[in-house]
């Protein structure tokens, strides 16, 4: 099991090593916000893409996802045949 804090601290400038999804890293689009405020964004196969505003130390305290879905619920299209009485 890889410790996320230790990994980021040691690999701050070389965040290229691919990691298995079974580790603490999630799929593409997921992120982890650390107590110190930096945000780790993961790419395909759980590879960290970049670290934003990294401050040494801290613990991952928040998790989330940048995935965004959409659901359209259109009103049913209604038409009416109008018959004119003779």
Which residues would be at the binding site for another protein (CB under 8 A)?
A: 28-29, 66-81, 83
Dmax of the chain from CA atoms?
87
Judged by beta carbon, residue 17 or residue 74, the one nearer another protein is 74
Torsion of CA 6, 9, 15, 20, to 10 degrees: 10
Shortest distance, position 75 Cβ to another protein, whole Å? 7
Shortest distance, position 20 Cβ to another protein, whole Å? 20
Judged by beta carbon, residue 13 or residue 69, the one nearer another protein is 69
Q: How far apart are CA 55 and CA 59, in angstroms?
A: 11
DSSP single-letter state for residue 22? T
Judged by beta carbon, residue 56 or residue 66, the one nearer another protein is 66
**CB 65 within 8 Å of CB 42:** no
Shortest distance, position 54 Cβ to another protein, whole Å? 24
């Amino acid at each position: 099991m890889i410790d996320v804090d230790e990994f980021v601290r040691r690999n701050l400038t070389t965040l290229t090593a691919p990691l298995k999804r079974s580790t603490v890293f999630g799929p593409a689009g997921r992120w982890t916000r650390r107590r110190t405020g930096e945000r780790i964004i993961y790419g395909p196969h759980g590879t960290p893409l970049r670290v934003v505003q990294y401050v040494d130390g801290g613990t991952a305290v928040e998790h989330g996802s940048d995935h965004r879905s959409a659901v359209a619920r259109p009103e049913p299209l209604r038409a009416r045949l109008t018959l004119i009485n003779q």
